[in-house]
Amino acid sequence: MIVFQKASVVKREGFTLVELLVVIAIIGVLVALLLPAVQQAREAARRMSCSANFKQVALAIHNYHDTHLVFPVGAGIGGGCSGTTEKHMFSWGVHLLPYIEQSARYNQIDFTLATNDPVNYESSTNPQGGLGPVTTYICPSNPQSDLMINPGFSALLEAVPRTDMAGVTDSRDWRCNAGAGVRPRPDGNGALVAWSKIRFKDIIDGTSNTLIIGEITGDHKVTTRSSATALNGNSYAHYDLFDTSTGINGPFTMPGGGAYAFRPQAFSSFHPGGAHFALADGSVRLFTETIDQITLAGLTTRAGDEVVGEF
Q: What is the pLDDT of residues 134-148, one digit of tens each?
A: 999 999 888 887 777
Whether pLDDT at 231 is above 60: yes
pLDDT digits (tens, 9 = 90+) for 259-268: 888 778 889 9
Whether pLDDT at 295 is above 70: yes
Buried b (16+ CB within 10 A) or exposed e, 69-87: eebbbbbbbeebbeeeeee
- Contact criterion met (CB below 8 Å) for 233 and 162: yes
pLDDT score recorded for residue 75: 80
DSSP 4: P
Give the number of other CB atoms < 10 A from CB of residue 187.
13
Whether pLDDT at 45 is above 90: no
pLDDT score recorded for residue 227: 54
**Type of residue numbered 143:** P
pTM above 0.85, yes or no: no
Q: Which of 62, 139, 53 has its CA nearest to residue 99?
A: 62
pLDDT score recorded for residue 298: 95
Report the C-alpha gap between 222 and 272 in whole angstroms: 23
- Contact criterion met (CB below 8 Å) for 76 and 174: no
- Contact criterion met (CB below 8 Å) for 278 and 271: no
Report the C-alpha gap between 16 and 123 in whole angstroms: 61
pLDDT score recorded for residue 146: 78
Helix (H) / strand (E) containing 274: strand 274-279
* Pair type for strands 165-170 and 241-243: parallel
Give the mean pLDDT of the chain. Answer: 84
The residues, ordered by sequence, that sit 6+ positions from 54 with a Cβ below 8 Å of its Cβ are: 165, 213, 215, 276, 277, 278, 284
| Lowest-confidence pick of 52-66, 127-141, 149-163, 207-221 | 149-163
DSSP 175: B
pLDDT score recorded for residue 182: 67
Question: If pLDDT is split at 50, 70 and 90, which confidence band does 103 have?
Answer: very high
The residues, ordered by sequence, that sit 6+ positions from 104 with a Cβ below 8 Å of its Cβ are: 130
Q: Which of 51, 63, 74 has its CA nearest to residue 243?
A: 74
Three-state DSSP class for 27? helix
Give the number of other CB atoms < 10 A from CB of residue 240.
25
pLDDT score recorded for residue 42: 78
Considering only residues 206 and 84, tell me which one the structure prediction assigns the higher pLDDT. Answer: 206
Considering only residues 297 and 264, tell me which one the structure prediction assigns the higher pLDDT. Answer: 297
